Amino acid sequence: IKPSKVYDGTDTRNNYDTRGWNVSNQVPIPLHDQKRIAEETAMRMTKTKEFNEKVLTNYKTPFERAKEHSENLKLTRTMEQDWKSTIKSEIDSQMPKASEEKKQAIVMKTMYEERFKHQEHEDQHELTFKPNLSKTLVSRRKRVYHHTGKWEKSKFEDCEVWSCCMSYDKDSEGCNVRIIDPDKYNI
């Protein structure tokens, strides 16, 4: 705690006004405000740029992803070319009199069947670049069971039951269902 002095006010005057002591005769100039706003804007823009660079390091645009996907397809086709030629030579030896279209169809069918057996199925959303809504649109609805009656001694039997559904178990789940949806718009 500071000792109380006579000139206590002069020590703390700058805490309340950052522009200095002679506040009464200072006139704000619009140029100063413009400079201050420009400095603050530049500072905010650099912070935003740093944040974006940090967050968006692994981001690929849809064009880049489509290009990457087409390059992968091109690579797989070139790698499968010799496999296709071996299958075609086998079919040529087995069916020498068959037409070229029929041979090509058999080659494509056998290649497709082999891929289908050995390869895990690609996610369709990766091929179409459409969002997978099953991941984002998760239902958070809950079912709440309750009894509308009360736990009392039955008039017809010599035991206690729920009056609504005649259940013998006091801790039973309930005969009525209420669905609670936290995402629903409540009026």
pLDDT in tens, 97-146: 899 999 999 999 998 888 888 776 556 666 677 777 777 778 888 999 99
Residue spans per domain, the chain:
62-118, 149-187
Give counts: helices (H), strands (E), the chain.
6, 4
Question: What integer pLDDT is reported at residue 38 of this predicted model?
Answer: 94
Beta bridge partners of 144: 178
Cα separation of 19 and 30, whole Å? 15
From residue 166, give the alpha-carbon distance in Å to each of 52, 66, 144. Answer: 63, 63, 19
Question: What integer pLDDT is reported at residue 187 of this predicted model?
Answer: 66
> How many C-beta atoms surround the C-beta of residue 161 within 10 A?
20
Question: What integer pLDDT is reported at residue 30 of this predicted model?
Answer: 82
- CB of 108 closer than 8 Å to CB of 101: no
